[in-house]
Structure 1
């Protein structure tokens, strides 16, 4: 990112020592290193989130292509995984449908 060599670091440290003094220089170095660490962590988390979103988008595009092709040219393993994904998607869209069905059967059993 930055091209800072050895002599530039020496110059920065000498200027920092003169400006801040020997008492405040270690505190300033620690605070700067914390800021740099926080910025790196934030950049890494954003990069990870973007890569996950790109993978999800790619999977969605592949599923759409497979549906458009009618899944005729897919291997049986891929067909099974597509069916599992469709089932998981329907479960996510209707999360309480399975829970409500047993309660209706238990109430009908109680009535009998």
Structure 2
């Protein structure tokens, strides 16, 4: 990220010691390290989200190619992508189906009473 060598780090620490004093320097170092950690966490989460979005976009493009080819004579990569999309779609639909089944069984039991 930053290209800070050993001597630059020594110079920064000496200036920080002179400016802040020995009482406030540890607190300042802790707060700076928290900010750096938060920035790294945010950058990694953004990176993960972007990679997921790119993968999703690639899968959608493969699905469009598969639909255009009529789902026959697909390459193994396209076949794997279609299978992954079908699996993801079934996992997304399952929680809603379970909730609908629970609600319909609850309303049926209420009607019977």
TM-score, L = length of structure 2 = 0.72
Q: CA deviation at 1:99?
A: 2.8
Indicate yes or no: 2:77 matched with 1:50.
no
Q: CA deviation at 1:68?
A: 0.5
RCO higher in structure (CA 8 A, sep ≥6): 2
Alpha-carbon distance in structure 2 between the residues aligned to 1:31 and 1:83: 44
Aligned residues: 102
RMSD over aligned Cα atoms: 3.3
Can you list the C-alpha shifts for 1:12-55, whole angstroms capped at 9, x where unaligned? 00000000001110110011001000000000011001101110
Task: Give 5+ residue unaligned stretches, structure 2.
Answer: none
Q: Residue in 1 aligned with 2:67?
A: 67
Which protein has the larger Cα radius of gyration, Structure 1 or Structure 2? 1
Q: CA deviation at 1:86?
A: 8.8
Identify if the C-alpha distance between structure 1 residues 58 and 17 changes in structure 2 by more than 3 Å, giving closer, same or farther.
same
Alpha-carbon distance in structure 1 between the residues aligned to 2:29 and 2:56: 41
Task: Give 5+ residue unaligned stretches, structure 1.
Answer: none
TM-score, L = length of structure 1 = 0.72
